[in-house]
Amino acid sequence: MDSEDLTLKILAEELRLYKPPHSIPFNNPGENGDLHVILTKRSSTLSSHSGEVSLPGGKREEGDADDIETAMREAKEEIGLDPSLVNAVTVLEPFVNKRGMIVVPVVGILSDKKAFVPAPNASEVEAVFDTPLEMFLKDENRRAEEREWMGDKYLLHYFDYEAENERYVIWALTAGILIRTASIVYQRHQPFWSGSPNSGAGLLTRIWHDKSREFLEGTLS
């Protein structure tokens, strides 16, 4: 077993043992064996979140059997990712974004990086790229500003990243999910995320999950 296979085996075992509420998106090993996450830049013609960086995914359709099938279908439609190349590890607890939309993270490991040739749907996706997952545990290229949401203050994180001479900004819910993802996978918690509630970092985690629970309870009652 080579180092890449061992890394994937260890990661898969960690994720099977891990319980929500946290989320881990699609991951694939980089050239040095480090984990990378696949991201997209949304088309500038879209009516919502145009030009922003996001994880592959979309709305569940009537014919989808479950959240995994939704994630696989959307990833194939958006970036041409063949479901047969992805090992779906688990589905984690839903998040709710600021628009009140439920976001269900599906964890998948890309089994063969070389077999995946991105084919972005031009009507939805402007670019496909990947970033080192560990980047979201570092202060390099990170900036933050204080915001308020539903009466609570929190830190909104921005990560600047450059790939193939293109500059991207990874922020908001996407950045938050990836910070938490990295802290779970690497078992390291950074002060800017998991510090005291007064720092805004720990508070943001609580806000997301408190609001998610409130929203879900309201829709199911």
Q: Could you read off the pLDDT of 101-157 as tens digits, one per residue?
A: 777 778 788 888 889 999 999 999 999 999 998 999 998 899 988 887 767 777 889
Q: Give the pLDDT confidence of 5-20 residue by residue, as tens digits.
A: 555 555 555 544 443 3
Q: Quick one: pLDDT at residue 170?
A: 96
Instruction: Provide the pLDDT for residue 177.
Output: 78
Give pLDDT tens digits for 18-50: 433 223 445 555 556 688 999 999 887 775 777
- CA 117 from chain centre, in angstroms, equals 20
CA 58, 59, 61, 67: dihedral to nearest 10 degrees? 80
Locate the domains of the chain by residue range: 3-220
Superfamily of chain region 3-220: Nucleoside Triphosphate Pyrophosphohydrolase (3.90.79.10)
What is the three-class DSSP state of 162? strand
Tell me what the pLDDT averaged over the chain comes to. Answer: 75
- Stated as kind and residue range, the H or E segment containing 206 is helix 201-220
Cβ-contact 63, 178 below 8 angstroms = no
Strand arrangement, sheet containing 166-171:
142-149, 152-163, 166-171
Kindly report the pTM of this predicted structure.
0.74
The 8-class DSSP code of residue 196 comes to: -
Which pLDDT tens digit goes with each residue over 90-103?
776 666 676 767 77
Overall residue count recorded for the chain in this entry = 221
